[in-house]
Structure 1
Amino acid sequence: MLSRALPLAIAALPFLAGPASAHHSYAMFDGNKVITLKGTVDEFRWTNPHVALFVKVEGAPEAVWAVELTSPGNLTRLGWARSSVKPGDKVEVEINPLRDGQHGGGFRSLKLVATGQVLKGRLYDIGAEGGKTATP
């Protein structure tokens, strides 16, 4: 019985692993660019598979930027809580912008203006040259 099931299980592995590796691609974000958004939190969604932050950016024209973070589990391990960021908070958010120029990006860090607290979103940062650098 095991001899029949093993080849079938091995044959199925590429189909199971393919979508997972594609889902975690960072290709839509420009790792060579880092920009800082200054504004007010419009919405903070503590959901799986990725936490989402929407920031109303100050200036003309005013725009809401969508920022993708990692999962709630990963953020919890980095010291975050569901209540770390709330609508109305003044923030400075560092992101790698979307390559297509839309108002969005991949999260790097967030500074709460009122307290000066800085929250990171991953154990390493993608440097301006695309290499990984450790977060202190």
Structure 2
Amino acid sequence: MKARTLLFLCGALMVAAPGLAHHNFAAHYIEEEIIEHTGVVTEFRFVNPHARVYFEITNADGSNEVWMAEGDASVALRRSGWAPDRIKPGDRIHVVGSPARNGTNTMSWYTISSGGNNLGGGDGRLEERAAILNRRLAEHRQQRNR
């Protein structure tokens, strides 16, 4: 019986490993680096497993490049108030995120803004998390200084 249990557990781990690797942010993006791009949306895919926004930037030399920014799953974004029409082709956006490790024009998105309005984070909750963290830090500093 122990051999069967061990075999089952080994099989379960082998099946789970690719899923965990897929969700390892650091495997795909350089989280220590932050990049920013401003461009015009060409396509917004509000899909699972990750929403994607494609946008065209103009470089200093006048050449154009298409970039893709990857966010969270549409279901997670929807829970945070996102909708498929939140970003539309033709919208001018500013994207902040981490670059891809493979050197392609791909990035994660931490936050996207358009027309001076922050549309939110790639996980749909970045601004909420930042506000909570800032509030807790302020409370901690106040208590420490008493």
TM-score by length of 1: 0.80
Cα deviation, residue 50, structure 1: 1.0
Query: What are the ranges of 5 or more consecutive residues in structure 2 without an aligned counterpart?
Result: 132-146
- Report the counterpart of residue 18 of structure 2 in structure 1: 19
Does 2:102 match 1:112? no
- Report the counterpart of residue 77 of structure 2 in structure 1: 75
For 1:25 and 1:10, locate their aligned partners in 2 and report how far apart those are by CA, in whole Å.
22
Contact residue 65 and residue 103 of structure 1 kept, 8 A:
yes
Q: Which has a greater percent of helix?
A: 2
Cα deviation, residue 124, structure 1: 4.9
The amino acid across from 2:130 in the alignment is: T
- Report the counterpart of residue 34 of structure 2 in structure 1: 34
For 2:68 and 2:92, locate their aligned partners in 1 and report how far apart those are by CA, in whole Å.
16
- Report the counterpart of residue 130 of structure 2 in structure 1: 135
Cα deviation, residue 70, structure 1: 1.1
Cα deviation, residue 54, structure 1: 0.5
Q: Deviations over 1:65-87 (max 9, x none)?
A: 01111100111122211111111
TM-score by length of 2: 0.75
For 1:83 and 1:62, locate their aligned partners in 2 and report how far apart those are by CA, in whole Å.
25
The amino acid across from 1:81 in the alignment is: A
- Report the counterpart of residue 129 of structure 1 in structure 2: none
Contact residue 37 and residue 94 of structure 1 kept, 8 A:
yes
For 2:8 and 2:130, locate their aligned partners in 1 and report how far apart those are by CA, in whole Å.
39
Larger Rg: 2
Which structure has more relative contact order (CA 8 Å, sep 6+)? It is 1
Contact residue 78 and residue 120 of structure 1 kept, 8 A:
no
User: Percent sequence identity over matched residues?
Assistant: 27
Q: Which has a greater percent of strand?
A: 1
Cα deviation, residue 23, structure 1: 0.8
Cα deviation, residue 46, structure 1: 1.2
Change (3 A) 1:20 1:100: closer
Query: What are the ranges of 5 or more consecutive residues in structure 1 without an aligned counterpart?
Result: 126-133
